[in-house]
Amino acid sequence: MIRQPWIHNAKTDWRFILSPPFLVLAVVILFQSQIQNLENHYSFYTWLILIVFVDVAHVYSTLFKTYFIKDEFQKRKLLYLGIPAISLLLGLIFYQFGSLFFWSGLALVAVFHFVRQQYGFMRLYARFEARSFSKFWDGLAIYSATIFPMLYWIKTPRAFNWFVENEFSWTSSVPNYVPVITVIYFAILAIWILKTIYFFINEKSFNIPKNAIIVGTYLSWYFGIVYFNNDLIFTLLNVISHGIPYIALIYIREIEQKDNSSLKKLSIFKTSFGIFLFVLILLGFAFFEEMMWEILVWREHFSIQSFGVSISWRDFLFLLLVVPQLTHYLLDGFIWRNQKK
């Protein structure tokens, strides 16, 4: 048996990184009627917990790997100042082509980010494995597990959106490819299962966390998008399986596993109070941002009637609000490269 490549240890990895899709899916299957009741009567609280305190909060955890680290910021200042500027510019360009084009473009970038995070976790847990036939099929399995549900969503009416209604309507003229990709999807899954069994039997090789990531990705994306057609179930499986592992990874790699001398003032976050403070900071940033989205754009859960700004200023503030999210999407493509430790 190979040495299991835990990021922290088995207990922590299972609790915060590997188990979310399995636990959430179990809750969904066992309590479907109660979940529907939550969606109908407690939408504000599900929005607050899932969107604000998990989804938006995980965006700001990136600060603890980038902008809050003085030496890291100084070393890659051009990157950390340039990406927000590029994000604002991209938002401005996209917005010139209309609201639907803007949201469709942002949705595609977000989907790409979600897909790549799953691939990144898989590679992180396969960091001690040599490039091989097995590694190729692991990568193909992750991409199949994520891309097929999205392609299915685009061609099949769903009761949920990534951001806004009709964000993928521009694909309506594309011929129906669902039957073909369904066969490809299940063929890749079958080959990956057979490959995993083969290596376990013949080489006594079974990478527990890597395989758990792949299986969890298959389950959360298939049941969240394809099997169930429910907004809250999609959000539960999508947001929790993405946000919680990312926040945990940031804390483990950037705070818990670093010594006090390298953390300097940030060493306060290694204490019990520091964990509470770490979470509180994320929630504070997230709540402020989402409150501004609600006031200026969505107005679904609360609004401030007296908060009046001109159309031009509102458009500018709207584009500014996109910057943290788009910066997170783009930065992730740089800051996690070559994570071999």
pLDDT in tens, 221-262: 999 999 998 888 999 999 999 999 999 999 999 999 988 888
Q: Which domain range does residue 180 map to?
A: 10-335
* Residue 10, pLDDT above cutoff 70: yes
Identify the top-confidence range among 8-22, 253-267, 293-307. 8-22
**175: phi then psi, degrees, rounded to nearest 5:** -60, 155
Decide: helix, strand or coil at residue 301: coil
Tens-digit pLDDT profile for residues 12-71: 999 999 999 999 999 999 998 888 788 777 778 888 899 899 999 999 999 999 999 988
> Any idea which of 188-192, 218-222, 239-243, 289-293 has the lowest mean pLDDT?
289-293
Q: How far apart are CA 179 and CA 134, in angstroms?
A: 27
pLDDT in the model for residue 41? 75
Q: Is 66 part of a structural domain of the chain?
A: yes
**Which helix (DSSP H) or strand (DSSP E) does residue 155 occupy?**
helix 133-155
Q: Is 161 part of a structural domain of the chain?
A: yes
Instruction: Decide if 51 contacts 290 (C-beta within 8 A).
Output: yes
| 133-142: long-range contacts, CB 8 A cutoff, minimum separation 24 | 133/195, 134/195, 134/199, 137/188, 137/191, 137/192, 137/195, 138/192, 138/210, 138/214, 140/188, 140/192, 141/188, 141/189, 141/192, 141/214, 141/218, 142/115, 142/118, 142/213, 142/214, 142/217
Q: How far apart are CA 30 and CA 46, in angstroms?
A: 18
Q: Is 34 part of a structural domain of the chain?
A: yes
Q: How far apart are CA 197 and CA 205, in angstroms?
A: 9
Q: Find the mean pLDDT for residues 289-307.
A: 70
Place of tokens 């976050």: 269
Q: Is 2 part of a structural domain of the chain?
A: no
**How would you classify residue 299: left for phi > 0, otherwise alpha for psi between -120 and 50, otherwise beta?**
left
Identify the top-confidence range among 171-180, 274-283, 286-295. 274-283
**Tokens read off for 266:** 């940030």
Q: Is 148 part of a structural domain of the chain?
A: yes
Cβ within 8 Å of residue 229, ≥6 positions away: 158, 159, 160
Q: Is 4 part of a structural domain of the chain?
A: no
Identify the top-confidence range among 128-137, 140-149, 167-176. 140-149
Tens-digit pLDDT profile for residues 84-136: 999 999 988 988 888 889 899 999 999 999 999 999 999 999 988 887 888 89
Q: Is 5 part of a structural domain of the chain?
A: no
**Tokens read off for 9:** 């240890």
Q: How far apart are CA 132 and CA 110, in angstroms?
A: 30
pLDDT in the model for residue 307? 54
* Residue 263, pLDDT above cutoff 90: no
pLDDT in the model for residue 159? 84
Confidence of residue 305 (pLDDT cuts 50, 70, 90): low
Structural domain count, the chain: 1
Cβ within 8 Å of residue 144, ≥6 positions away: 184, 185, 188, 189
Question: Within 13 Å and on the Cβ side, how many CA atoms surround 333?
Answer: 11
Q: Find the mean pLDDT for residues 186-202.
A: 95
Sign of CA dihedral 30, 33, 34, 39: positive
Crossing angle between the packed helical segments 20-30 and 32-41, to the nearest 10 degrees: 90
pLDDT in the model for residue 167? 84
Q: Is 133 part of a structural domain of the chain?
A: yes
Predicted TM-score (pTM) of the model is 0.90
* Residue 152, pLDDT above cutoff 90: yes
Q: Find the mean pLDDT for residues 303-312.
A: 56
